[in-house]
Structure 1
Amino acid sequence: MYAARRILKKMRYGEATVTVVDPRSYMTYQPFLPEAAAGSISPRHVVVPLRRVLPKAEVLTGRVTTIDQDRKVATIAPLVGEAYELPFDYLVIAMGAVSRTFPIPGLAENGIGMKGIEEAIGLRNHVLEQLDKADSTTDEEVRRKALTFVFVGGGFAGAETVGEVEDMARDAAKYYKNVKREDMRFILVDVADKILPEVGPKLGAYGKEHLESRGVEIYLGTSTKSCVDGHVVLSNDLEVDSNTIVWTAGVKPNPALSRFGLPLGPRGHVDTQATLQVQGTDYIWAAGDNAQVPDLVGRKAGNENAWCPPNAQHALRQAKVLGDNVISGMRGFPQKEYSHANKGAVAGLGLHKGVAMIVVGKTKIKLKGRLAWYMHRAYHGMAMPTFNRKIRVFADWTLGMFLKREITSLGAMENPREEFYEAAKPAPAPAAAADDKAKADDKAKAKAS
């Protein structure tokens, strides 16, 4: 989206047509997904409609299934109807990443990801629904399974999500007579030996201690072996039953990239030069989570194998350089190399709680607690695309200071026609009428014979 905006901004009138193809008609600001899952931000305010942001672009809702580089044609599969071909002169690959999963029995059937706004809404409704179940049942096994929440992955996504969801569940429990925070069990699992590696070992250790002080069980150096029917088996021999298994164990490039005939790196990313041009081409660019972009700052420091990490800090800046380079390529000008020094990282662990590492020159400033939480909100609030969405997000936060958190579960929205279907389907015939009909059918058969 940012690359398209940059191209449209720099392009002369009528110089070219910009076409954006995406299966969704909006862009999701993923750092806010944990807060959307906890109800701190309205889900609609975390997404940006492409047609509003890119009024001069052609926005197609569908998927690119194949790319013919010789003919410079992409095959588009729209939401409905038959696929068709779309010719292009220049191509930008920015498909992002998907959840990195493993062949764990039961994961596909029971896991909940955190890569899209739909999953964040689903997780929020699901967690509140579990509290409803636990409050309404007399079966202790059902209750225990409903109140056990397992989170796999201790990076930003996992730590932030468990912190926000625990906060929400703690608030919601005040309104349930038969559910207390002490009845709930939150478990965070990671194969690494620490959580929040992005902010360094000291802040990661603080984050771990903070979450444990809130009753979150953290198991490091531990993998998930199975979760069939919600029965979670961990490599440390711990076994628990849970209706909620949240999978945030990293990301991988979109697997569709393997169908496009592009040069890929060892982990499936599009192999690019420092100019963001795909290796071996002069008309294809790639950026963001699906691109393997050399980290020039790291390489100047002596790390010859430094690559830009897949995060929003790099993706947003790469998009601007990419947009400028596409315009330069169209006009025959030299390409500019992408170079960016890490500015640090911020993470929220629930309301008024967070960690932050800010890089100023060669100095790293480490913050924790409420001040770090303010830094987290300020940074991401300003980074949120469009002035419209910035205002809405800050308005949600401001209202949250004075109003209580919303604890309504709207799980029925996942099957909105179910109630109408039950009301509209033909009613079964009364038992007496059914018997009379059967007797009449028997008499008719007897006469016929």
Structure 2
Amino acid sequence: MPRILIVGGGYAGFYTAWKLEKQLRRGEAEIVVVDPLPYLTYQPFLPEVVGGNVEPRHAIVSQRRHLKRSTVITARVTQINHAARTATITPEVGDPWDITYDIIVVTAGSVSRTFPIPGVADEAIGLKAIEEAVEIRDRIMTNFDKAATMPPGPERDRLLTFIVVGGGFAGIEVFAEMRSLASALLKFYPQLTFEDTHFHLIEAMGRIMPEVSLQTSHKVLKNLAERGAYVHLDTQLQSAVGGVCQLSTGESLESDVIVWTAGVMASPMLKNTDLPVEQRGRLQVRADLRVEGPDGIVEGAWGAGDVSAVPDLTGGGVGGFCVPNAQHAVRQGKQLAKNIAAVLRGEQPQDYRHENLGAVAGLGPGHGAFQSGKIGITGPIAWLMHRGYHGLAIPTWERKIRVIANWVLSFVLGRDIAPIENLDQPREFFERFASRPKPAAQESAAATDTKKDKLPGGEGLSAPVYASPSQGK
């Protein structure tokens, strides 16, 4: 029975395994999924997690719960030797080991793309993982708690200044959700006013959201400005050392929350493979998702999602390739499952082709943007379209129901504004009050002092002796 090794359990990897379980008959192939996380993160919901409109656990999908016929391994694939059909698996605890395979599917996804700007690696936080979204949300709320106890001044301004770098879809969505959350928090903090909060987005290009028309992007800019969120176009971040953001315009902004959303790049794990990689570091694949090198098709190797340079047959992609987003990754995963099943049965794989029907963005409750061809819509209708699309697009009915129920409850009860601090140090509260044994040096000194206080007769003078009630009688 051939073994199919899927490297990465994100959109493309999860859907490939999920659909293969339905495409293949029992005993036709063994499916193994390796990913360092035991869940898929539905990244379009990360801005709503930041805004407190989606429960964090509802934005992730358990691999083990839904991949019932696959073997799920929570570890990293750190090397691929396709010539020998082996991959090295490195777990969080324990020694690495090699696994053999017949077919490999590389869907390792992408990571945040950063530049060597001083201070960014130390101060900024990305928006690729659920943990990052939770941290941004909690930090905003915690900063409000701190600022409410402080007098007006530079330190309070720093706590209430929030900066996002990158004006693509992810950047604009999280920026708008952060502004929406802060506006909702103000009614619980009578010590603070709307004017005390400051929101800035830094974009190096002369426009935002290249996926929508220029006219629609201008409407989004106007909407954000009316809500007290300001976008700096044609502006570059030059330094973020100590949380002080120095801009190319000469401006200086000091913030405790700097969110980086300025692009993504293919997973660096591809550097440790013998598979062909193109100039931008992505896996080189054909339109049918088979890996292709200088000598033609690489037998038994497939790729999809952000980690792969998939040709866009519609002609609408950047540089002729599909843009790295969830919309393509999900559909590529589905097509990949069909193609692998076809090849196992001696049939021909089909090319991946997807006509982009439009783009939709959520900008906080009641605010949204939609673009399809020349039609651009902003406002509540676009926001409802955003929620409708993503509410149905998240994998599995179990997660769809949880998310939609979450939205209904938030509409009736309002968003939850309680932050959970110290998630990275959960034992801090226990450790602060826990009793500890004295160090050996202190115990030795205490024993010496007690011995010096004793008389030759052995009667101790170091401490009074108390009699029990029965001895007193």
Deviation readout 1:300-343 (Å, 9 max, x if unpaired):
xxx99511111111111111111111112222211111111111
Work out whether residues 213 and 376 of structure 2, in 8 Å CA contact, stay in contact via their aligned partners in 1: no
Q: 1:223 aligns with which of 230, 236, 239?
A: 236
Asked whether 1:298 is paired with 2:315, we answer yes
Per-residue deviation at 1:137?
Answer: 2.2
Q: Give secondary structure in 2 for the equivalent of 1:119.
A: helix
Asked whether 1:342 is paired with 2:359, we answer no
Aligned to 1:36: 49
Aligned to 1:447: none
Alpha-carbon distance in structure 1 between the residues aligned to 2:318 and 2:131? 39
Deviation readout 1:360-416 (Å, 9 max, x if unpaired):
xxxx43211011111111111110100000011110111122112211111122311
Q: Give secondary structure in 1 for the equivalent of 2:173.
A: helix
Number of paired residues?
A: 433
Work out whether residues 196 and 207 of structure 1, in 8 Å CA contact, stay in contact via their aligned partners in 2: no
Per-residue deviation at 1:438?
Answer: 12
TM alignment of 1:107-126, pairs within 5 A: 107-126=120-139
Alpha-carbon distance in structure 2 between the residues aligned to 1:145 and 1:377? 33
Q: Give secondary structure in 2 for the equivalent of 1:278.
A: strand
Deviation readout 1:211-233 (Å, 9 max, x if unpaired):
01111121111111111111111
Per-residue deviation at 1:117?
Answer: 0.5
Alpha-carbon distance in structure 2 between the residues aligned to 1:405 and 1:319? 34
Work out whether residues 283 and 329 of structure 1, in 8 Å CA contact, stay in contact via their aligned partners in 2: no
Work out whether residues 4 and 20 of structure 1, in 8 Å CA contact, stay in contact via their aligned partners in 2: yes
Alpha-carbon distance in structure 2 between the residues aligned to 1:90 and 1:427? 56
Q: Give secondary structure in 1 for the equivalent of 2:147.
A: helix
With 403-412 and 217-226 compared, the bigger mean Cα shift is at 403-412
Alpha-carbon distance in structure 2 between the residues aligned to 1:139 and 1:205? 34
Q: Give secondary structure in 1 for the equivalent of 2:299.
A: coil
Q: Give secondary structure in 1 for the equivalent of 2:290.
A: coil
Alpha-carbon distance in structure 1 between the residues aligned to 2:38 and 2:419? 26
Q: 1:358 aligns with which of 366, 372, 379?
A: 372
Per-residue deviation at 1:181?
Answer: 1.9
Aligned to 1:287: 304
Per-residue deviation at 1:274?
Answer: 0.6
Q: Give secondary structure in 2 for the equivalent of 1:371.
A: helix
Q: Which amino acid aligns with 2:352?
A: Y
Per-residue deviation at 1:201?
Answer: 0.9
Q: 2:405 aligns with which of 379, 387, 395?
A: 395
Aligned to 1:169: 182
Alpha-carbon distance in structure 2 between the residues aligned to 1:54 and 1:399? 29
Aligned to 2:341: 327
Aligned to 2:322: 308
Aligned to 2:60: 47
Q: Give secondary structure in 2 for the equivalent of 1:323.
A: helix
Please list every run of at least 4 consecutive aligned residues from structure 1 whose deviation after the TM superposition is greater than 6 angstroms.
none
Alpha-carbon distance in structure 2 between the residues aligned to 1:217 and 1:257? 38
Asked whether 1:376 is paired with 2:389, we answer no
The two structures have a TM-score, normalised by structure 1, of 0.92
Aligned to 1:259: 272
Alpha-carbon distance in structure 1 between the residues aligned to 2:234 and 2:318? 29
Q: 1:420 aligns with which of 430, 433, 444?
A: 430
Per-residue deviation at 1:180?
Answer: 1.8
Alpha-carbon distance in structure 1 between the residues aligned to 2:414 and 2:29? 50
Unmatched 5+ stretches in structure 2: 1-13, 454-473
Deviation readout 1:109-133 (Å, 9 max, x if unpaired):
1101110111000110011111111
Aligned to 1:410: 420
Q: Percent identity?
A: 42
Work out whether residues 52 and 415 of structure 2, in 8 Å CA contact, stay in contact via their aligned partners in 1: yes
Alpha-carbon distance in structure 1 between the residues aligned to 2:301 and 2:125? 34
Q: Which amino acid aligns with 2:413?
A: L
Unmatched 5+ stretches in structure 1: 445-449
Q: 1:243 aligns with which of 256, 266, 271?
A: 256
Q: Which amino acid aligns with 2:340?
A: V
Alpha-carbon distance in structure 2 between the residues aligned to 1:419 and 1:408? 18
Asked whether 1:197 is paired with 2:210, we answer yes
Q: Determine which structure has the larger helix proportion and give its number.
A: 1
Aligned to 1:65: 78
Q: 1:6 aligns with which of 19, 22, 28?
A: 19
Per-residue deviation at 1:243?
Answer: 0.5
Asked whether 1:82 is paired with 2:99, we answer no
Q: Which amino acid aligns with 1:245?
A: I
Per-residue deviation at 1:426?
Answer: 2.8
Per-residue deviation at 1:7?
Answer: 1.1
Alpha-carbon distance in structure 1 between the residues aligned to 2:193 and 2:282? 46
Deviation readout 1:55-105 (Å, 9 max, x if unpaired):
110000000011111210111011211111111000001011111101011
Per-residue deviation at 1:425?
Answer: 4.3
1:407/1:17 Cα in 2 relative to 1: closer, same or farther (>3 Å)?
Answer: same
